[in-house]
Structure 1
Amino acid sequence: MAERALRADARRNRERVLAAARRAFAERGYAVPLDEIAAAAGVGPGTVYRHFPTKEALFEAVSVANVEDLAAEARARAGSDDPVAALSGFLDRVADQALAKRDLPDAFAGAGAEAMAAAVADLHSAFGALLERAKEAGGVRRDISVSDLIALLKGLLHAVGDDPDPNLRHRLLAVVRDGLRPSEG
């Protein structure tokens, strides 16, 4: 059964709820009450529940949108004239995003419903294209896969998640970049 198109005002309200939820989840995590998200969006709680019957559904919608945004960015960066620099910039972007939005490492694992699994598969494909371009340019070891790189990122993000040292992420990303380089000779 096809979903019915939303009226313009309902579509605007849904987008406002999603924008408020993105900010709230990024700042305070999953624990933020739905009533606060509704107030931040300028709508009543009933409007939130009409679009998202549970807090989990809203959280998943926000997470799917975040992963879709990253996939779109990876695809855009794959067309760069300098794919090695593009990959490096994307790694920085993923680390920044994951520190601001704590759900990203779990999303990389494909956690959640069908929509999340599809978004993660799209991200893997886009990230893979970016990685392959960097390999072809000679800036990344040939034996590295997207799964390898995502596992490294998940470990790095877990390690720096609660660490008070703001430079730890940069140092660990430098180690990951060094490990990605082809060996000389």
Structure 2
Amino acid sequence: MAVRADARRNRELIVTTALDLFAERGTAVSMEEIARAAGLGVGTLYRHFPDRQALVEDIALDALRRLMTFGEAVVAEDRPNWQALRLVVEHCAGLPLALIKTLSPATTANPELARLERDLNALFERLALGAQEEGTLRGDIPPGEVVGLLNVAVCRPGARADDYLTTVILDGLRR
């Protein structure tokens, strides 16, 4: 069944508005505030997203899918692993990964979210191991721990590719 153009626009407007408000004021923004800021009725918002969890999961799925697509494309290119790892980390800066970390595995019923997180962690681990093998990433830190450090850098509010924390972590990992 095709989605009407106005319904599609409303859904996109809700997601964009929610992202803007979450970035500006944190995740405590109410659904009513999101609807008001989007210029829509609360009923319209709830027709698209029955609750906050559904809205955040939708945003999370979109962000993780985009990151996975980008990461796979970077890996498919013939480039050094360290360079590929940095490109993927830089791409993370534009995604709402801090918001995603607010989702609790106990309350998230969407198996695609868990699969995407596992696949992305595996992709980061492969890149880290490859960079260690090529001698561009320190070899004394297990690849899984490298992923944990990178999560600290990119999965926080306001994370940017060129901010001090991301820069220090990448500089510290570089051999």
Given candidates 22, 32, 36, the residue that maps to 1:35 is: 32
- The 8 Å contact of residues 132 and 138 in structure 2, kept in 1 or not, is answered as yes
Cα distance in 1 for residues equivalent to 2:105 and 2:86: 23
Counterpart in 1 of 2:4? 7
The alignment of Structure 1 onto Structure 2 pairs a total of residues equal to: 169
Give the letter aligned to residue 45 of structure 1.
V
Deviation at 1:155, TM superposition (A): 4.0
Post-superposition CA distance 1:121-153 (Å, at most 9, x none): 2322433444354345432345632x3223213
Post-superposition CA distance 1:102-137 (Å, at most 9, x none): 324456x86733232133123224334443543454
Post-superposition CA distance 1:35-88 (Å, at most 9, x none): 232233342211110111012211221122222222222222222524322312
Gaps of 5+ in 2: none
SS class of match (1:69): helix
Say whether residues 1:81 and 2:79 are aligned partners. yes
Cα distance in 1 for residues equivalent to 2:4 and 2:137: 48
Given candidates 138, 141, 144, the residue that maps to 2:142 is: 144
Give the letter aligned to residue 69 of structure 1.
R
Query: What aligned pairs does 1:28-67 form with structure 2 within 5 A after superposition?
Result: 28-67=25-64
- Tell me how large the CA RMSD over aligned residues is: 3.4
Cα distance in 2 for residues equivalent to 1:141 and 1:5: 51
Given candidates 154, 158, 180, the residue that maps to 2:173 is: 180
Cα distance in 1 for residues equivalent to 2:157 and 2:12: 29
Cα distance in 2 for residues equivalent to 1:122 and 1:56: 22
Counterpart in 2 of 1:17? 14
SS class of match (2:27): helix
- The 8 Å contact of residues 77 and 130 in structure 1, kept in 2 or not, is answered as no
SS class of match (1:103): helix
Cα distance in 2 for residues equivalent to 1:141 and 1:106: 30
Gaps of 5+ in 1: none
Say whether residues 1:126 and 2:119 are aligned partners. no
Structure 1 residues 174 and 30, CA, compared in 2 at 3 Å: closer, same or farther?
closer
- The 8 Å contact of residues 31 and 52 in structure 2, kept in 1 or not, is answered as yes
What TM-score comes out, normalization by structure 2 length?
Answer: 0.72
SS class of match (1:139): coil
Cα distance in 1 for residues equivalent to 2:23 and 2:5: 27
Percent identity over the alignment is: 34
